[in-house]
Every structure is written in structure tokens, then in C-alpha cells.
Chains A and B, each alone.
Chain A
Amino acid sequence: MATETHGAVEGAAGMPQLELAHFPNQIFWLLVTLVVIYFVLSKVALPRISSVLAERSGTIMNDISAAEELKLKAQDAENAYNKALAEAKAEAQRISGEANAAIQAELDVALAKADAEIAAKAAESEAAIADIRDNAADSVKIVAKDTAKELVAAFGGKADAKTLTAAINARLKG
């Protein structure tokens, strides 16, 4: 304002800061600056940044909850899988048990049949063997009787059939 104070104050203190004449200028421009910054901040910058920050935290929260949900789903899937696996295992065991039982039953039947056949064959064979043995014994008796008759005849004797048979039977038994 007053130019004459300019030199006096500056000269005295040597500090432009104490130059009172320049105060109104600085204060005026400072107030203009502050008002401009205030309006720029409160109308544009701050609402925008705050909405971006809110949006970001919202997105992050959503993502976290989505991840939580997916994790639960994965756990459910795993549980279902384990359950299905256990069921399948039980089923497989049951089926294999059944199959074993069926095979065993068939096997038993077959074995019994085979045993029966074998027994039948053995009996048949034994019968045949017994037959042969009996025949053989009779044949020996006949041959022995004949031979004995011939021998007795050769010695000049006359053997009656009855005595011969008795003798041979006695010999054969002994």
C-alpha cells in the first residue's frame, strides 16, 4: 500500500516477511488459492477417491466371500466324492462277496457230484474186482478138483466127487 513504509521496514529488519505493505496482496491470493483448492477437493477429488476406495474394498470383500463360497463348495464336493467312494467300495465288497458265495456254491455242487461219481465208479470197480476174485476162486476150485481127480486117477484110485470137493475146500480154507 504505502510505498514509503516499504523501504523503512525492509531496511530496518532486512526481512521481506515483515513487509506489512505486501500483506494484503499475499492474504488475498492465499484466500483465493485456499478457496480454489477447497472446492476442487470437496467437489471433485475427494468424492472420487473415496468412491474408488469404497468400490475397491467392496470388490475385495465380494471376492473374499466368493472365495469362501467356492471353498465351501469344494469341501462339499470332496465330501460327496468321499461318500461315493466309500459307497462304491462297500458295493464292490458286497458284489465280490456274492460272487464268491455263488462260485463256492457251484463248486460245492460240482464237488459233490464229482464225489458221487467217483464213489459210484469206485463201487463199480470194487464190484468188478470182487466178481473177478470170486470167479478166480471158483476157477481155482474147478482146476484143483480136476487136477486132484486126475492125480487120484493116475495113482489108480477112484475118487468120488463128494470127497474131493470136501478135501479141496478144506485145503483152500487152510
Chain B
Amino acid sequence: MSDQAKQSGGTGKVIFFAILALIVIAIFLVPTGHGGLAFHPMDQFEIKALFGGDIHWYTVTNATLWMGLTVLGVVLLLVVGSSGRAIVPSKGQSIAELTYGFVYKMLEDVGGKDAVRYFPYVMTLFCFIAFSNVLGLLPVSFTPTTHIAVTGVLALLVFVFVTVLGFVKNGAAFLELFWVKSAPLALRPVLAIIELISYFVRPVSHSIRLAGNMMAGHAVIKVFATFAAIKLIAPVSIAAIAAMYGLEILVAFIQAYVFTILTCVYLKDALHPAH
């Protein structure tokens, strides 16, 4: 688990430095007098009311639209796709079944047999994140998962659910999660503090990993796109956009996978807290 966290943190860092380097290059390359390049890589993340007016909690915004499209995508894949109920599946049904099998197996392998009860919940998270990430790769689209408000709520839902579940299933024995029995007695209190801190950091890393990865990729593509305005760099810039786009497709699925598998790990901790 910590390996995955480190890895995705690594890609995040690389992307961050890539953006920095690009911005520095841009500043040196572009004569200030021209004013030709205008960097607005973050504009794409702005929340806008679709029908104008102020944004209240109930206002229909671009976030609403793209979340709605996510629901539509899920329905198309899993409901319409599987409507044939064929023994020999069609292409759509195959994809629906593969998605089902993929998440189900992940939950069973990582979380254990009794975690399978929470399959609809885990599947909901995976479908929402995967569809939101992939739909966000369409040009001029909006990606809900680039927003810390969205991923934060997703991560907090998991955190609260898992914590409550842990206490309901195990009672006070859930606290054994923080009491590492395999360590020497003298070390245990220290480890307990570390474990406790790492437990509360979970929702933070869980949410920022997803939002950070998604946001960084989209921002980098936007920066490359801005460079395309310089004739000399344009071919390189367009090639780089294509390459980044391919990477982003990968990242879209990997981040959905990482978020889901971490949820499975947390579920396992809640169901079987003893080390």
C-alpha cells in the first residue's frame, strides 16, 4: 500500500517539475513585449453555473453536467450493456462483465470474503472515478475528480464508513489496529502513535492523490497547448500533447484502480484489525 502511495506521489512530483520547467522555459523563450502566450492552465477547473447566476449549493453547474454524464456512462455500460443477458456475451456485455469481475476480484482478494458484502459501494466508487476521469479527457470537458472537494468527500466517506464499520464489527478490538503485537513491547506505544497518525492521514493522501494526479495531467496538457502558439515549438508541443494524452488515459484508469484498491485495503483493516 505505501509503495503505491509512493509511486503515485512520484509521478505527481515528476509532473509538477515538468510544469515548472516548462513555465521557466516559456518565460525565457517568449519576448515579454509580444504578450502572445497567455498561460491559463487552471481555467479549465473553474466551476461555472450553466444557466448563469450565482452558484448556490443547488445550482446546476458544469460539475453537475459532467457528473450527470458520468451517471449516463455508468448506466450505458453496466445497465444497457448487460441488458442482453446473453450466455455468449456481446461486446458491451463483455466489457460490463469484465468491469464487474475486475472490481469483484479485487475486493475479494484484498478485502477478504466478508468484504464482498460492500461490493456495490466499492463498485460505485470505481465506476464514478473511472468514468469521471475518462470523460474528463474529452476536449473542453470538465473533470469532477480534479477537485479536492469531490475527492475529499469520496475519501471521507470511505474513512468514516470504514471507521464506523471497524467499531461496529469489532468493538474496542478495532483499536488493535494501532497496537502492533508483532513488535517488541517497548516499541508498541511509539508505533501506536505512528499508526494513529497514519490512520488519520489516510483520507488526506487518499483524496489528494486522485485530485493531484488528475489536475496535474490536465494542467500539463493545457501548458503544452499554450506552447503550440509558438511556430518553432508547435510540432514538439503537439507531439508532447499526444504523448501526455496517452499517459493520461493510463493515469485515469490507474487512479481509479488505486483509489478502489486502497478502499479495499481499508475495508480489510476494518474487518480484520489484528495485525
Query: Could you list which residues of chain A lie within 8 angstroms of chain B, going by C-beta atoms?
Result: 1, 3, 14-19, 21-34, 36-38, 40-42, 44-46, 48-53, 55-56, 59
Contacts A22-B47, A50-B100, A53-B97 given; indicate if A14 touches B120 (C-beta within 8 A): no
Contacts A1-B56, A16-B46, A26-B47 given; indicate if A33 touches B70 (C-beta within 8 A): yes
Asked if A38 and B121 make an inter-chain contact with CB atoms under 8 angstroms apart, the answer reads yes
Q: Which of B64, B85, B127, B147 contacts A52 (CB 8 A)?
A: B85
Q: Mark B57-81, 1 if CB is under 8 A from A, else 0.
A: 1110101100110110011001100
Q: How many residues of B contact A (CB 8 A)?
A: 51
Chain B positions within 8 Å of A32 at CB level:
67
Chain B positions within 8 Å of A56 at CB level:
87
Q: Mark B133-173, 1 if CB is under 8 A from A, else 0.
A: 00000000000101111100110010000000000000000
* Bound-complex Cα distance A25 to B66 (A): 13
* Bound-complex Cα distance A28 to B42 (A): 23
Contacts A33-B128, A49-B82, A56-B87 given; indicate if A26 touches B144 (C-beta within 8 A): yes
Contacts A27-B153, A33-B71, A38-B120 given; indicate if A46 touches B100 (C-beta within 8 A): yes
Query: A18-B148, A25-B59 given. 13 additional CB < 8 A pairs?
Result: A17-B147, A21-B55, A25-B58, A25-B63, A26-B149, A27-B57, A29-B67, A30-B150, A32-B67, A36-B71, A40-B75, A49-B82, A53-B100
Chain A positions within 8 Å of B42 at CB level:
14-16
* Bound-complex Cα distance A41 to B241 (A): 35
CB distance from A151 to the nearest CB of B (A): 133
Q: What is the chain B residue whose CB lies nearest that of A38?
A: B124
Name the prevailing secondary structure of the B interface residues: helix
Chain B positions within 8 Å of A41 at CB level:
74, 78, 120, 123-124, 127
Q: Which of A15, A26, A52 contacts B97 (CB 8 A)?
A: A52
A-B contact pairs, 5 of them (CB 8 A): A3-B54, A27-B149, A27-B150, A33-B67, A46-B100
Tell me if B45 is interfacial: C-beta within 8 Å of chain A: yes
Asked if A16 and B67 make an inter-chain contact with CB atoms under 8 angstroms apart, the answer reads no
Chain B positions within 8 Å of A49 at CB level:
78, 82, 96-97, 100
CB distance from A4 to the nearest CB of B (A): 12
Chain A positions within 8 Å of B57 at CB level:
24-25, 27-28
* Bound-complex Cα distance A38 to B71 (A): 10
